[in-house]
Amino acid sequence: MPRVVKRKLQKLRPIVEYNKRGKGIGQAHSEMQSYIGVLARSRVPLVDMKWSQIPKDIKEQIWEAVDMAFVVGQGGKNSVLASAAKKWKDFKSTLTRHYILPYTNDREKLSQPPETYKFIEKAQWDAFVASRLSKDFESVHSQHAQIREKLEYNHRLSRKGYAGLEDQLEETMPGVEIDRSTLWKRARQDKHGNIPDPKVAEKAKLIDELQKQVSEGKVSVYGSNDVLTMALGPEHPGRVGGVGAGISPRQYFNLPKPQRMSFDDRLKDSLRVLLQEETKKMEPKAREEALRMEARTKQLVEAEREHFLSQLSQLIPNFDPSMLKPRISQSPKNPMSDKASCSGGDVRSLHFKDDTAKNGKHQEDEEKEEEKKDEEKEEEKQDEKEKEDEEKHDDKVIEVGDYSNMEAPSSLKTLCRYVETTLVPEDKTLQFTIDKEVFGRERDTFLLPEDITQFAGMEEIGATVVAVYMRYLHDVLKQANMCSMVGFIDPATVSANSGTIADRSRLVAARLQKTDGEQIFMMPYNPGLVSLTGFCFYDFQ
Predicted pLDDT at 375: 60
Q: Please give the residue range of the domain that contains residue 386.
A: 363-391
For residue 88, is pLDDT > 70?
Answer: yes
Domain for residue 70, yes or no? yes
Same domain for 249 and 315, yes or no, is no
The domain boundary, picked from 256, 282, 311, lies at: 256
Same domain for 57 and 126, yes or no, is yes
Same domain for 12 and 87, yes or no, is yes
| Mean pLDDT estimate for the chain | 74
234 Rama class: left (phi>0) / alpha (psi -120 to 50) / beta? beta
| Total domains present in the chain | 5
Same domain for 19 and 77, yes or no, is yes
Q: What is the pLDDT of residues 99-132, one digit of tens each?
A: 998 988 888 888 899 998 988 999 999 999 999 8
For residue 442, is pLDDT > 70?
Answer: yes
Same domain for 15 and 125, yes or no, is yes
Q: How many CA atoms lie within 13 A of 526 on its CB side?
A: 16
The domain boundary, picked from 212, 237, 256, lies at: 256
Q: What is the pLDDT of residues 366-395, one digit of tens each?
A: 555 665 666 666 556 555 654 554 444 344
Distances in whole angstroms, Cα of residue 365 to Cα of each of 314, 316, 317, 370, 377:
9, 7, 8, 9, 18
> Contact, 469 vs 438, CB < 8 A?
no
Same domain for 243 and 178, yes or no, is yes
Distances in whole angstroms, Cα of residue 424 to Cα of each of 244, 288, 344, 411, 419:
66, 35, 18, 18, 6
Using a 10 angstrom Cβ sphere, with 0-12 exposed, 13-18 middle and 19 or more buried, the burial of residue 340 is: middle
Same domain for 24 and 7, yes or no, is yes
Q: What is the pLDDT of residues 466-508, one digit of tens each?
A: 888 888 888 888 887 777 788 888 888 877 767 788 887 888 8
Residue 410 DSSP SS3: helix
Q: State the Cα–Cα distance between residues 317 and 339, nearest whole angstrom.
A: 34
For residue 176, is pLDDT > 70?
Answer: yes
Write the CB contacts of 118 (distance below 8 Å, at least 6 apart in sequence). none
Predicted pLDDT at 272: 76
Domain for residue 407, yes or no? no
Q: What is the pLDDT of residues 306-365, one digit of tens each?
A: 776 676 566 555 556 554 444 344 444 433 333 333 333 333 333 333 344 444 444 455
Same domain for 122 and 192, yes or no, is no
The domain boundary, picked from 149, 184, 201, lies at: 149
Same domain for 185 and 308, yes or no, is no
Domain for residue 494, yes or no? yes
Same domain for 141 and 37, yes or no, is yes
| Maximum mean pLDDT: which of 2-16, 207-221, 402-416 | 207-221
Same domain for 106 and 236, yes or no, is no
Same domain for 341 and 225, yes or no, is no
Identify which of 51, 12, 57, 14 has the alpha carbon closest to the alpha carbon of residue 32: 14
Average pLDDT over residues 53-69: 92
Average pLDDT over residues 257-269: 58
